Chain A
Amino acid sequence: MEVAYYLGKFLAGGIMVVLFAVVSETCEPKRFAGIFSAAPSVLLASLIVTVLLKGTAPASLSAFGAVAGATGLVAYALAARWAVDRFKGLAGSVIALVPWAVVSLAAYLLLVGRR
Chain B
Amino acid sequence: MSDPASQDGPRSNHFVPRFRPGRIREARFRDFAVRFAFGGTISVVAALVGAAFTEPIGGIFTAFPAILVASLTLIDKQEDQEHASYDAVGAALGAVGFVACAFFVSRTLERWPVAASLGVGLLVWVVVSVGLYALYALVVSRGRNDEG
Contact = CB atoms under 8 A, between A and B. Distances in A.
Given A25-B23, A59-B109, A67-B106, A14 B72 contact: no
B90 A31 contact: yes
Contacts, number: 323
Contacts of B58: 62, 65
Interface string A41-82: 111111110110000111111111111111111101110110
Interface size class of B (residues with CB under 8 A): 35 or more
A6 B96 CA distance: 28
Nearest to B80: A89
Nearest to B66: A42
Interface residues of A, number: 80
A1 interface: no
**SS class of chain A's interface: helix, strand, loop or mixed?**
helix
Interface in B39-81: 39-44, 46-48, 50, 54-69, 71-73, 75-77, 81
Counting chain A CB atoms within 10 Å of each CB, the highest count among B5, B81, B82 belongs to B81
B32 to A, nearest CB: 5
Contacts of A29: 5, 14-15, 17-18, 86
A26 B24 contact: yes
B24 A63 contact: no
Given A10-B41, A25-B23, A62-B58, 4 more contacts: A5-B47, A21-B35, A43-B59, A93-B69
13 contacts: A9-B44, A10-B41, A13-B40, A18-B39, A27-B17, A37-B94, A42-B43, A56-B114, A58-B50, A70-B102, A84-B84, A89-B77, A100-B64
